[in-house]
Amino acid sequence: MIYIKDLMSGVNIFKALSSEIRIQIIELLAKNQSLNLNDLATKLGLSNGAITMHIKKLEESGLIEINTAVGKHGIQKICYLNEEKLMVDLRSQEIHNRYEVEIQVGHYSDYQAAPTCGIATKDSIIGEFDDPRYFADPLRIDAEMIWLAEGYLEYRIPNYLKPNQTFSEIQLSMELGSEAPGFCDNYPSDIYFYINGKEIGLWTSPGDFGDTRGTFNPDWWPPHLNQYGMLKLIRITKEGSYIDGCRISDVTLDDIGLDYKSDIHFRIAVTDGPVNKRGLTIFGKSFGNYGQGLLARVLYNVQED
């Protein structure tokens, strides 16, 4: 998912989508998964030169990806959708009563891990593969990628509210995937989310992706291991809990019972309960495709005296 949290950062994407032809190209790629330039030109009744111009703008915006392949008639350029969803947060432009913090993925406050598992900084693996003892290593605060087959990671979200302020929404954004030995693009895993021990819902990760190299992965990261995840946005509101705009439960902020004195513990877990128990991976700034850690945003109301 491409998540645009302020309008100016999405200008290139908006420009790319300002053409009906480019929207038709995206629709064709969504329907067919991949097409070469000749196929797209034929379906749209355009010359190769015209289609190339449109494809270039879509590639520059990050909406599509182009790979080369050898075909019967020489080298072909194959086009794919880079992401399946685009989310634009319009409300963030007008909301002043909020704060946002970015937490490094290694700054977990509690954990439980079972192999396959491990921790990596931007420079190296911490300890050894598949040894949960290293999850307690002091160097883990520098971790930029963490994976485990079973267990959980728990993070403390800062609560900066004052006595005259009340929670109206909590938003959490992170890049996640499953955890397979090596990688496996078709490897569904049920990943659960909790606030202060209250289950707010789950998301089923489609796989542990390794078909292409992660955009931010350091050069030393091996190509036979997982490379990137999917960016997910969780929202807990007064009406319910959502992920990428889809309702995942009826749990509300009132059910959690937060106030300005509350600790906020956010847990990501793979437990004994799921149908698809295939681990989890969380990507930080130096791995994956999005260059971010765990982003937490708190929206609040101010009570007038």
**244 — pLDDT class (breaks 50, 70, 90):** confident
Q: Which residue has the tokens 């489609």?
A: 206
User: For residue 262, what pLDDT is reported?
Assistant: 97
C-alpha to C-alpha distance for 98 and 161, rounded to whole angstroms: 9
Task: Fill in the amino acid letter for 90.
Answer: L
Identify the pLDDT of residue 302. Answer: 94
Q: What number is the average pLDDT over the span 161-181?
A: 96
State the pLDDT at residue 59: 87
Mean of pLDDT values over 36-50: 91
pLDDT in tens, 4-16: 766 756 777 888 8
* pLDDT at residue 8, as a whole number: 59
Average pLDDT on 206-210 reads: 94
Enumerate residues 6+ apart whose C-beta is below 8 A from 221: 120, 214, 227, 287
- Domain borders along the chain are 2-81, 95-302
pLDDT in the model for residue 91: 59
What confidence category does residue 49 fall into, taking pLDDT thresholds of 50, 70 and 90? Answer: confident
pLDDT at 118 over 90: yes
pLDDT band at residue 33 using 50, 70 and 90 as cut-offs: confident
Give yes or no for residue 228 having a pLDDT over 70. Answer: yes
Residue 155 amino acid letter: Y
One-character DSSP codes across the chain? -EEESSGGGGHHHHHHTT-HHHHHHHHHHHHHSEEEHHHHHHHHT--HHHHHHHHHHHHHHTSEEEEEEEETTEEEEEEEES-S-EEE--GGGT--SEEEEEE-TT--SEEEEEEEEEEE-SS-BSS-TT-GGGGG-GGGGG-SEEEEEEEEEEEEEP----TTEEEEEEEEEEEEE---SS-BSS--EEEEEEETTEEEEEEEE--BB-SS--TT--TTS-TTS--B-EEEEEEEESS-EEETTEEEES--HHHHT--TT--EEEEEEE-SS-SS---EEEE-TTSTTT---EEEEEEEEE---
- Look at residue 202 and tell me whether its pLDDT is greater than 80: yes
Distance separating alpha carbons of residues 205 and 239, to the nearest angstrom: 25
Q: pLDDT category, 274, cuts 50, 70, 90?
A: low
Residue 147 has pLDDT above 90, yes or no: yes
Please, which pLDDT band fits residue 123 given cuts at 50, 70 and 90? very high
pLDDT at residue number 90: 66
Query: For domain 2-81, is the CATH number 3.30.365.10?
Result: no
* Mean model confidence pLDDT for the chain: 91
**Architecture label for domain 95-302:** Sandwich (2.60)
Residue 123: closest CA among 155, 145, 105: 145
Q: Which of 173, 243, 171, 230 is nearest to 201 (CA)?
A: 243
Task: Note the pLDDT tens digit of each residue in 78-109.
Answer: 998 887 778 777 655 455 799 999 999 999 99
The model's pTM is 0.76
**Cα 243 versus chain centre, distance:** 11
What's the full length of the chain, in residues? 305
